[in-house]
Amino acid sequence: MLIRRVSILAVAMIALGSTIALAKPTLLSRQVIAQTPISVPRTNHGKSGGWLKDLNLTSQQLQKIKEIRNQSKQQIAQKSEEIRLGQEELHDLIAGTATKEQVRAKYNQIKLVKQQLADTKFENTLAIREILNPEQRQKFAERMYKKNPAPPAQHN
C-alpha cells in the first residue's frame, strides 16, 4: 500500500514538474544553470584581459594549458552532445508511454555521462593546476569560484 502511494506521489510530482517547466521555461533554465557545477573558466578569445592574462602566465605555461585543453576538447564536446540528446530522449520518455524502468534507465545513463564529463573537466583543472605556481594557483582558484581572496588566518 505504501509503495502504491509513493508511486502515485512520484507520478504527480513528475506531472506537475512538467507542467511548471512548460509554463515557465525560463525559470527552469535558470535553475538548471544555477545547479551546473563550476568548471575550468573559458578563455576570452579576442578580448583583452581574461583569466589567462590575470595569471601572468609564461609562454611555456600558456602552451601547456592549450595542450591540456586540446587533448580533451573532442571528448568534452562528445559527452556534452550525448547529454543533450539523452535529455531530449528522457523528456520524450517522460511525456510518452514508457515504463518507469525505461525512464529510470535513461536518467541513470544521463547521470553517468554527466559524471564522466565532470570527471574530465576536473582532471583538466588538476592538470592546469600542476603547471601553475602558488600565486597563480590562488588566482586560478579565485577565478574558478568567483570568490574574493580569503582573509589571512588569525592565530590566537
Q: At 103, which CATH number?
A: 1.20.120
Is 86 found in the same domain as 140?
Answer: yes
Is 113 found in the same domain as 84?
Answer: yes
Report yes or no on 44 lying in a domain: no
Is 67 found in the same domain as 91?
Answer: yes
Phi, psi of 150 (to 5 degrees): -70, 140
Which range marks the domain in which residue 27 is found? Answer: 1-36
- Which among 90, 116, 114 is positioned nearest to 102, based on CA atoms? 90
pLDDT of residue 28: 41
Whether pLDDT at 4 is above 80:
no
Residue linked to cell 555521462: 113
Is 56 found in the same domain as 26?
Answer: no
The helix (run of H) or strand (run of E) holding residue 147 is: none
Is 28 found in the same domain as 92?
Answer: no
In this prediction, residues 109-130 reach a mean pLDDT of: 96
Is 71 found in the same domain as 28?
Answer: no
Is 137 found in the same domain as 79?
Answer: yes
Cα–Cα distance, 103 to 106 (Å, whole number):
5
The number of folded domains in the chain is: 2
Is 112 found in the same domain as 59?
Answer: yes
In this prediction, residues 129-148 reach a mean pLDDT of: 86
Report yes or no on 29 lying in a domain: yes
pLDDT tens profile 65-95: 999 999 999 999 999 999 999 999 999 999 9
Task: Extract the C-alpha cell encoding 140.
Answer: 586560478
Report yes or no on 104 lying in a domain: yes
Whether pLDDT at 127 is above 60:
yes
pLDDT tens profile 18-72: 444 444 343 343 334 434 444 444 444 434 346 777 888 999 999 999 999 999 9
Report yes or no on 132 lying in a domain: yes
* Cβ partners under 8 Å of residue 56, min gap 6: 136
Report yes or no on 9 lying in a domain: yes
Report yes or no on 45 lying in a domain: no
Instruction: Supply the pTM of this predicted model.
Output: 0.60
